[in-house]
Amino acid sequence: MPSVTIDGQTFEFEGRPGLLQFCLQHGLEVPHFCYHPAMSAPANCRQCLVDVGTPEMDRETRQPRLDEAGNPVIRFFPKLQTSCTMEITDGMVVKSHRSSEAVERAQKDNLELLLINHPLDCPICDQAGHCPLQIQAYKYGPEGSRFEFEKVNKPKHIPLGPQVMLDGERCINCTRCVRFTTEISESHQLTIIERGVRNYPMTPPGVTFDEPYSMNVIDICPVGALTSRDSRFKARIWEMSRTASVTTGGANGNNCYYWVKDNQIMKVTPRDNPSVNEYWLPDEERLDYHRFNDDRPEGPAIGKIKTDWNAAYDAAASLLKDADASRVVFMGSAYATVEDNYLLMKLAASLGADAPTYIPHIEEGHGDDWLRTDDRSPNREGCERLGMMPAGDSLAARLNAGEVDVLYVLEEDPVAAGLATTEQLANVRVILHAYNTTNQTMPAADVFLPAATVVETVGTFVNHKGHAQRVRPAKAIRGMNRTLMMEVGKSRADLHGTPFDRWHDESNLVDCQPGWVSLPAVAIRLGHAMDYRGPKYIMHEIADSIDAFDGATYAAMGEQGVRLEDVGAAV
């Protein structure tokens, strides 16, 4: 197999890998700015320079020339090469900054050039703390600048569009944002204008940078030139903890990080997952976090009166116990996890009631065959795999005919969905698990059980392509912390437990419970034991008992999720 020697270490390779990507994949850091694995390599930042040589070939024998010691003679390129555009060939010898003083010097000088007109306003820059330019200037840069003239003043705080703010002075013209709009989103809304020291990215006149994926340029910007108008100046990166999870604004299950400060979600950024969303996330799913912070209920209630959890469970259980099972309607949810819907199905079955249905949330024309889908709920596929049927018009008919005594709603809003009106529900006892006080069924609720949202629970969502993924608690709720859930380690290395992590902060704790806590609490009061040690074991049971989830254990899903048919689940 062909091999390459990088800093004295020999690696075997297949195909024609790019040198920079190969180094990064083998844990060898090479500083770079403009290179991004999903886009073309323009080699314009000049930061990834390395010294590259290839074996000298004898023209007649077509064999490598050997020196006296029998080693191949390596002929180095006369100048340093950009590793992002260099293809690895057999016998290639590469010297990075770790083994070549020339490379180290070149990288240092290049950073000095990049920083000539950079404002160095890190103390007020949102990118500070996770800024490739800042990090690399510390690691590889010069100790000072020899440039003692006034820096070029470029346009600052220019809104390129509704979501993205430009600071032209911070830009190093890597063109990642321009390449994103030409190669990835193909909106063609950005370009580099002017030339020389005057250039910076801009929309052409008359164009607004308003494409539905515009905020991705904020993530890929290696400096603070492009920042989010929504979250800038709200929190420094080191004040937040981040949790790997998935978004719930659509059916694609885009992988994301939820960033938390003081138990409030501050922003949502994409998390790489080649089989779901690669590196990208649509704007709508980044801005869809306020519902986790705002309009949250104060606690469980019976009627309109606030109560404690035990009393609320007792009230729910007694409503169900007193009712005729054939006159009880259970409603699951495409917003709730597979585990919670499964427990609801078990609860309904144990009472002898009809199987729960779910409400589909299809918005025709919303999807774009990429990361946005017509389906605006995260777990419709999961509901269908559990065997749940979509709720039809029959509910309204049954309500009008007076055939329903108790309506049990798990994390749904039948009134907002148009399946029932509060008048129709006036004579029905409604038990409602809900996320927000904006839930329109809430006025009709007899027992109100605040539900944990996706950022406060543990569970599984199945995206529209059958990719099962776990969600993890990003923020704490009252009465339960993450370590109790046994889901998150306490070590620092997992990016959660920093000293600045606000898990120990008592502020903004919402008094709610995940379905896998509240549903068993109701069930046990009805004499049906649901004795699970946690959602992980619920999922084990689902994987064991339902063919469509065969093999879908937490271990199989891991961080990247799993395509259900790949682990043997029935389609």
Partner 1 sequence: MADFIKNPVVELPERNPAPSFPASELVFTDAEKAQIAEYVERYPTADGAIMRALWLAQEKFGYLPPDVIKLAAEEVGMPYAKAYGVATFYTQYYKKKMGAHVLDVCTCFSCQICGGYDMLHYLENKLGIHKGETTEDGQFSIQEVECLGACGSAPMLQVTNGSYVHNLTTDKVDALIDALREGKSWPFESVTLPQDEDDLGGNRRTDVTATETYQTPPASETIA
Q: Which residues bind partner 1 (CB under 8 A)?
A: 149-155, 158, 168, 181-182, 188-198, 200, 202-207
Which residue, 40 or 182, has its beta carbon nearer to partner 1?
182
Q: How far is the CB of 490 from partner 1 (least distance, A)?
A: 49
User: Is residue 544 classed as helix, strand or coil in its secondary structure?
Assistant: helix
Q: Which residues pair with 66 in a beta bridge?
A: 72
Nearest distance in Å: CB 119, partner 1:
12
333, burial (CB in 10 Å: exposed 0-12, middle 13-18, buried 19+): buried
Nearest distance in Å: CB 213, partner 1: 16
76: exposed, middle or buried (Cβ count in 10 Å: 0-12, 13-18, 19+): middle
Instruction: Please identify, using beta-carbon distances, which residue of 204 and 418 lies nearer to partner 1.
Output: 204
Cβ 269 to partner 1 shortest distance, Å: 25
Q: Cα separation of 316 and 431, whole Å?
A: 6
Q: Which is nearer to partner 1, 197 or 484 (CB)?
A: 197
**Nearest approach, Cβ of 175 to partner 1 (angstroms)?**
10
DSSP letter at 71?
Answer: P
Closer to partner 1 at the Cβ: 150 or 364?
A: 150
Comparison of 188 and 490: residue with beta carbon closer to partner 1? 188
Of the candidates 107, 127, 130, the one whose C-alpha atom is nearest the C-alpha of residue 119 is 127
Which amino acid makes up residue 314? D
What's the min distance (Å) between Cβ of 149 and partner 1?
7
Strand 301-302 vs strand 241-246: parallel, antiparallel, or unpaired? unpaired
- Which amino acid, one-letter code, is at 435? Y
Torsion of CA 345, 350, 354, 357, to 10 degrees: -10
Of the pair 44, 422, the CB lying nearest partner 1 is at 44
CB closer to partner 1, 195 vs 533: 195
In terms of CB distance, is 189 or 337 closer to partner 1?
Answer: 189
Neighbours of 188 (CB within 10 A): 12
Residues 6+ apart with CB under 8 A from 1: 12, 13, 14
Q: Which residues of 418-436 are buried (b: 16+ CB within 10 A; e: fewer)?
A: ebbeeebbeebbbbbbbbb
What own/partner pairs with CB < 8 Å and gap ≥ 24 does 217-220 have?
Answer: 217/164, 217/176, 217/177, 217/180, 217/181, 217/190, 218/163, 218/164, 219/269, 219/270, 219/279, 220/36, 220/176, 220/177, 220/180, 220/279
CB closer to partner 1, 30 vs 160: 160
| Residue 194 C-beta: closest distance to partner 1, Å | 5
Which tokens hold the place of 254? 């885009």
Tokens of 103: 């490379």
- What's the min distance (Å) between Cβ of 463 and partner 1? 32
CB of 227 to partner 1, least distance (A): 17
